[in-house]
Chain A
Amino acid sequence: MQPLSNRKKVLEQKPMNFMERIYFPAIIKGLSITLRHFFKKIPTIKYPEQQRPYSKNFRGQHSLKRDEEGRERCTACGLCALSCPAEAITMIAAERTKEEEHLYREEKYAAVYEINMLRCIFCGLCEEACPKEAIYLDGPHVTADYLRKDFIYGKDKLVEPKFDITKLNS
């Protein structure tokens, strides 16, 4: 049959010649290889003390963003949940009252916003779907936990902490 590539090599089983049968040349060759590795630079990162920086387009834990006045951007339109291929996002929308205007930007907001981190595949489609620039996957790694229920992250974990925009600019 015509070979598809030129990489195929037929191995012949020959009886060992004298140099191979006394093993020593091969053993010394192997020993020299391991000794060379003994003095090589070690690529291991000593993790807790040494940390490699994340890549720029690393997608980690989600955060729900606030606007310049510290109000939540999310309007609970549900596009992120719709775009999510893993169906990890659920939310319950609510209407903003008069007193809550300093908390939420639009008239509608997410009263409950949950992401199941076990389902999430960190594809970033929610980030792309969001029309309000309210969700970004810019957090750290999602950490390990003991119970499945603890992987359903609510707003307490997702909404980014309040910051002072005036301080941020200065």
Chain B
Amino acid sequence: MEWSFVIEKFALVTIVFVVTLVIAMYSTLAERKIAGFMQDRYGPDRAGIFGLLQPLCDGGKFFFKEEIIPAGAHKTLFIIGPTIAIITACISSAVIPWGQSLTIGDRVISLQVADVNVGILYMFGVVALGVYGIMLGGWASNNKFSLMGAIRAASQSISYEIAMGLSIIALLMVTQSLSLKEIVGQQSGFVNWNIWSQPLGFIIFMVCAFAECNRVPFDLPECETELVGGYHTEYSSMKLGLYMFSEYINMFVSSALMAALYFGGYNFPFMNDFGLSQNWITIIGVCIFFIKIFAFIFFFMWVRWTLPRFRYDQLMNLGWKMLIPLAIANIVLTGIITLIKDTYFS
């Protein structure tokens, strides 16, 4: 392995990490701003112009708050909980292809940290690990509410991962690949986006993504009204900050995943018709990708300030009795259509 490769990847990892954290930071502000506007008021606007320094103030406050570990808590696991949550949230962005490739001199730099050929499986593995952060934290707090939240988180993410996986299988039947780079590469232009061939799969995937991120209307693990904050009842200071941060990072990553899997990632309409050089297409593509991601993040927040929370039985009914059968039907339908296409139109 050459040194330049290591430096290149290191730089890319750093950039992706920093961008992820900054976006997660400003998601907190965006959430409050959007909440404000949707409720006919301004959000926070005192710290800096438009409240742009608000996330910094919040972060600073998190660092200086008193750190409380309850006497009955399991100390090690109590600390490991938020650590796992933030680490899994951060490493999940490794396989997302942010753009095509830049050519600097005679080097071709791929804008993807790791082109794992089973990228989607990696993603699922990491997301499945993420629930351990919540479970451990909730259990180690030695608090009824936290335990309830943790149990809810576990059962919720297990139930919805099945439907999510099934909706992805239908997508894989169309794309014939597990590598995210290849899946995005196939969707060049506009008509090749997977949303046109997998609309039902996308809806199922999106609903499951909401559930996996513990976002409203599926935020049962941390509902303030019944569980007093759920799994993070006992957390204070930056540990609470890490949990909240990991939630926003998860939201960002799942937005990126939705954009990449179904909405063509960095591809944009007429991208090859303007006669632009490869570098320019890549740069514009990255911007387009981020616009798509921000649109999804906005949608996440928009839904949050619109819908009330599901009841627990409704959540389970929706997951097991509606989404999983729908996802299976989607697989069958995709299979039949692919078969007909291959037999009669190839």
Residues of A in contact with B (beta carbons under 8 Å apart): 22, 27, 30-31, 33-35, 37-38, 40, 42-44, 46
Contacts and interface: CB of A to CB of B under 8 A. Distances in A.
A42 B40 contact: yes
Nearest to B326: A22
A44 B40 CA distance: 8
Nearest to B318: A23
13 contacts: A27-B303, A30-B306, A31-B302, A34-B302, A37-B40, A38-B37, A42-B37, A42-B41, A43-B40, A44-B40, A44-B41, A44-B42, A46-B45
A22 B34 CA distance: 27
Contacts of A40: 40
Nearest to A22: B322
B165 to A, nearest CB: 22
A44 B302 CA distance: 21
B42 A42 contact: yes
A46 B37 CA distance: 14
Name the 4 nearest CB pairs between A and B, nearest first.
Answer: A34-B306, A30-B306, A34-B38, A44-B41
Contacts, number: 34
Interface of B: 34, 37-42, 45, 302-303, 305-307, 322
Contacts of B37: 37-38, 42
A33 B322 CA distance: 26
Contacts of A37: 37-40
A27 B40 contact: no
Binding site of B, secondary structure by majority: helix, strand, loop or mixed? loop
Given A31-B306, A42-B40, 5 more contacts: A27-B307, A30-B306, A37-B37, A38-B37, A46-B45
A42 B45 CA distance: 14
Contacts of B302: 31, 34-35
Contacts of B306: 27, 30-31, 33-34
A40 B38 CA distance: 8
A120 to B, nearest CB: 32
A124 B302 CA distance: 48
A34 B299 CA distance: 12
Nearest to B308: A30
Nearest to A29: B306
A43 B39 CA distance: 10
B295 to A, nearest CB: 13
A30 B38 CA distance: 12
A15 B229 CA distance: 32
Contacts of A33: 306
Nearest to A33: B306
Nearest to B304: A34
A30 B307 contact: yes
B140 to A, nearest CB: 36
Contacts of A30: 306-307
Contacts of A44: 40-42
Contacts of A22: 322
B95 to A, nearest CB: 31
Contacts of B45: 46
Contact of A38 (B38, B303, B307, B322): B38
A30 B306 CA distance: 6
Nearest to A40: B40
A38 B322 CA distance: 32
A35 B37 CA distance: 9
A35 B42 CA distance: 15
B143 to A, nearest CB: 33
Contacts of B39: 37
A46 B46 CA distance: 10
B280 to A, nearest CB: 34
A149 B72 CA distance: 45
Contact of A34 (B41, B305, B322): B305
Contacts of B303: 27, 31
Contacts of B307: 27, 30
A110 B307 CA distance: 63
